[in-house]
Amino acid sequence: MSRPMPRLFLIRHGETEWSLNGRHATRGEEQIKSKADSLPIDPKNLAVAIVSPRKRAHRTFHLLFDHIPTVPKHEISEDVREWDYGDYEGLLTHEIKEKHPGWEIWRDGCPGGESVEEMCSRVDAVIAKVRNHHKEYTEGVINTRDVLIVAHGHFSRVLIARWIEFELALGTHFNVEPGGVTLLSYNHNSLDEPALNAMNLYADLK
């Protein structure tokens, strides 16, 4: 009997003051402890969890799992940090456009931070790492099928676009809610057919 297909769970940290008012920032802390028991993630099935080192993402991971006897294997990695906003850190979109009319992060990146090309390269490297875990699982090298990433809004939107093998800019069309779970896997039991299975599971949709 073939194994069930491996999955990638992608969680955006929950709502913070900064995500509520639209600032481009890398601060904040999530409070999703009430959702911990209802999320569709079995820690025993996790090959690894990759967590952004930013406080709100790190805190989210621990709110999800610190109540269970064994916290899943996890690593704190700059690879899944938020897009580096550089000179635009902490600014609202309209404030940025006053300085740079017509600016779009999906096309222009961030001066003093990450370009579109740099962001794409970083996310692609993360995806390659996840797919290596999935390949090892399907080949029977490891017995844990899933990977979890706890990260941020723009990072998540870029990852979804690149997972399904579209250009990074497609991410502008994905609405990734704070605290929501995205499920990525594959079609037709083939690692050559990456797919988006679900978005914004368990998010507090307004």
Q: What is the pLDDT of residues 50-95, one digit of tens each?
A: 999 988 888 888 888 887 777 788 999 999 999 999 998 888 888 8
| Beta-carbon-side half-sphere exposure of residue 117 (alpha carbons within 13 Å) | 1
H/E stretch holding 148 = strand 146-151
The pTM assigned to this predicted structure is: 0.87
Q: Across the strands, what pairs with 198?
A: 183
Query: Whose CA is closest to 121, among 171, 158, 154, 150?
Result: 158
Confidence of residue 20 (pLDDT cuts 50, 70, 90): very low
> Are 13 and 178 spatial neighbours (Cβ–Cβ below 8 Å)?
yes
Amino acid letter, 186: Y
**If you average pLDDT over residues 90-118, what whole number do you get?**
90
Please state, in angstroms and rounded to a whole number, the distance separating the CA atoms of residues 154 and 9. 16
For the record, the structure tokens of 38 come out as 């209802």
Rounding to the nearest 10 degrees, give the CA dihedral for residues 85, 88, 90, 91. Answer: -140
Helix axes 116-138, 153-163, angle to 10 degrees: 60
> Which positions are annotated as active-site residues?
13, 82
